[in-house]
């Protein structure tokens, strides 16, 4: 397992400032309710405030700003939340804080740590970074209205884990061997830009064209190999998703990324999955596997219609 982020991003995406929470009925003065993920479960008994959280997380799980993670239960689902101050997570303060990359990084790390702990304990459907409501009643309303969506997601990911696979074009790779033609191809006529005859200028241009053709051949062969890898991993996975290739500033590598895939895998198939990845490390591709992760790529739910109560 590595400490890199899941396949699609280095951290969960920050919200737009327009999504920030607004005061509403049921809110506690100065406090918002930060939602991390939804898990299966029932309401805790009186006197056991953390009994609705997955086993192993009772009472000692801390989230954003060090707040204790607690359950808000409804209809067989548990929203795992903590209280956050609106002087940081209200609409105007959030606009300012989103410009502070250190602040965003700290929130993202705390959010991710809670989600990873929940996912390690059982099925969990993470939500987007900085999803804040103004009170527990709004969270319960969310669980009521989106119950079937959350239940479907939790059933899909139960007992499964996400793995990320990235494939890069190898920097030092021999040109693929060309297949000899059945008969000699006619020599191309020199272009107007090429000097006629066998002078040094013509020889340079020919070498330059051959070099470009070699790189194009290499790219084509590597891209086909990456497609084969994605298809082979998809046959082993319960579900797969192809993310956009990452910019080198995010990937930390200068080589071109040809595959940025996420795969939801049953534990029984993880060894075979890793073997397929290893088999595709060759003269064309350098392949990197990361994980296991909480299943971010297969659980995110669009809470856009629920924005009237706060951040998605």
Query: Residues 72-82, buried b or exposed e (16+ Cβ, 10 A)?
Result: bbbeebbbbbb
Confidence of residue 219 (pLDDT cuts 50, 70, 90): confident
* 176 pLDDT higher than 50: no
Per-residue pLDDT at 58: 53
Per-residue pLDDT at 265: 95
* 267 pLDDT higher than 80: yes
Average pLDDT over residues 131-139: 92
- Please state, in angstroms and rounded to a whole number, the distance separating the CA atoms of residues 135 and 139: 7
Q: What percent of the chain has pLDDT over 90?
A: 40
Per-residue pLDDT at 87: 87
What's the N-to-C CA distance of the chain in angstroms? 30
- Please state, in angstroms and rounded to a whole number, the distance separating the CA atoms of residues 264 and 291: 11
Give the DSSP per-residue string, 168-195: EE-SS-PPPPPPPPSSPPPPPPPPTTSP
Confidence of residue 172 (pLDDT cuts 50, 70, 90): low
The residue ranking higher by pLDDT, 29 or 259, is: 259
Confidence of residue 215 (pLDDT cuts 50, 70, 90): low
Per-residue pLDDT at 290: 92
- Residue 269's φ and ψ, nearest 5 degrees, are -105, 0
Confidence of residue 31 (pLDDT cuts 50, 70, 90): confident
- Please state, in angstroms and rounded to a whole number, the distance separating the CA atoms of residues 311 and 20: 5
Average pLDDT over residues 304-311: 45
Confidence of residue 273 (pLDDT cuts 50, 70, 90): very high
* 186 pLDDT higher than 70: no
Average pLDDT over residues 296-311: 62
- Please state, in angstroms and rounded to a whole number, the distance separating the CA atoms of residues 81 and 103: 19
Mean pLDDT of the chain: 77
- Please state, in angstroms and rounded to a whole number, the distance separating the CA atoms of residues 77 and 287: 38
The residue ranking higher by pLDDT, 100 or 230, is: 230
Per-residue pLDDT at 3: 40
* 158 pLDDT higher than 80: yes
Give the DSSP per-residue string, the chain: --SSPPTT-SSPPPPPGGG-----TTPPTTEEEEEEEEEE--PPPTT-TTTTSPTT-TTT-B-GGGPBPEEEEETTEEEEEEEEEHHHHSHHHHHHHTT-HHHHHHHHHHHHHHHHHHHHHS--EEEEEEEEESSHHHHHHHHHHTHHHHHHHHHHHTT-EEEEEEEEE-SS-PPPPPPPPSSPPPPPPPPTTSPSSS-HHHHHHHHHHHHHHHHHHHHHHHHHHHHHHHHHHHHHSSEEEEPPPPPHHHHS--SPEEEEEEEEE-GGGHHHHHHHHHHT-SSSEEEEEEEEE--GGGT----GGGGGGB--
Q: What percent of the chain has pLDDT over 70?
A: 68
What pLDDT, in 10s, does the model give residues 54-112? 655 555 899 999 999 999 999 999 999 999 998 888 788 888 888 888 899 999 999 99
User: Could you tell me the pTM of the whole model?
Assistant: 0.66
Per-residue pLDDT at 311: 45
Q: Which long-range contacts (CB under 8 A, 24 or more apart) does 286-289 make?
A: 286/167, 286/168, 286/169, 286/170, 286/255, 287/165, 287/166, 287/167, 287/168, 287/229, 288/165, 288/166, 288/167, 288/168, 289/163, 289/164, 289/165
What pLDDT, in 10s, does the model give residues 233-258? 999 999 999 999 888 877 788 888 99
Q: Which of 112-116, 159-163, 198-202, 222-226 has the lowest mean pLDDT?
A: 198-202
């Amino acid at each position: 397992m590595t400490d890199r982020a899941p396949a699609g991003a280095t951290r969960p995406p920050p919200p737009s400032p327009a999504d920030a929470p607004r005061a509403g009925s049921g809110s506690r003065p100065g406090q918002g309710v930060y939602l991390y993920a939804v898990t299966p479960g029932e309401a805790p008994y009186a006197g056991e405030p953390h009994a609705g959280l997955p086993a192993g997380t009772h009472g000692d799980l801390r989230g954003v700003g060090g707040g204790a993670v607690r359950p808000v239960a409804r209809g067989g689902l548990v929203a795992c939340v903590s209280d956050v101050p609106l002087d940081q997570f209200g609409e105007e303060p959030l606009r300012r804080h989103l410009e502070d990359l250190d602040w965003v990084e700290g929130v993202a790390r705390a959010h991710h740590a809670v989600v990873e702990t929940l996912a390690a304990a059982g099925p969990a459907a993470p939500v987007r970074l900085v999803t804040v409501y103004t009170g527990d009643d709004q969270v319960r309303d969310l669980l009521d209205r989106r119950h079937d969506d959350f239940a479907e997601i939790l059933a899909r990911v139960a007992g499964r884990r996400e793995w990320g696979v990235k494939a890069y074009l190898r920097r030092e790779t021999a040109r693929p061997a060309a297949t000899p033609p059945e008969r000699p191809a006619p020599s191309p006529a020199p272009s107007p830009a090429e000097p006629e005859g066998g002078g040094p200028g013509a020889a340079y241009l020919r070498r330059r064209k051959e070099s470009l053709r070699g790189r194009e051949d290499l790219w084509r062969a590597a891209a086909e190999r990456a497609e084969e890898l994605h298809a082979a991993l998809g046959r082993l996975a319960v579900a797969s998703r192809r993310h956009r290739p990452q910019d080198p500033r995010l990937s930390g590598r200068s080589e071109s990324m040809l595959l940025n895939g996420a795969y939801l895998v049953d534990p029984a198939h993880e060894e075979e999955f890793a073997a397929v990845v290893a088999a595709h490390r060759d003269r064309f591709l350098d392949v990197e596997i990361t994980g296991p992760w909480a299943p971010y790529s297969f659980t995110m739910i669009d809470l856009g219609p629920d924005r009237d109560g706060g951040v998605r």
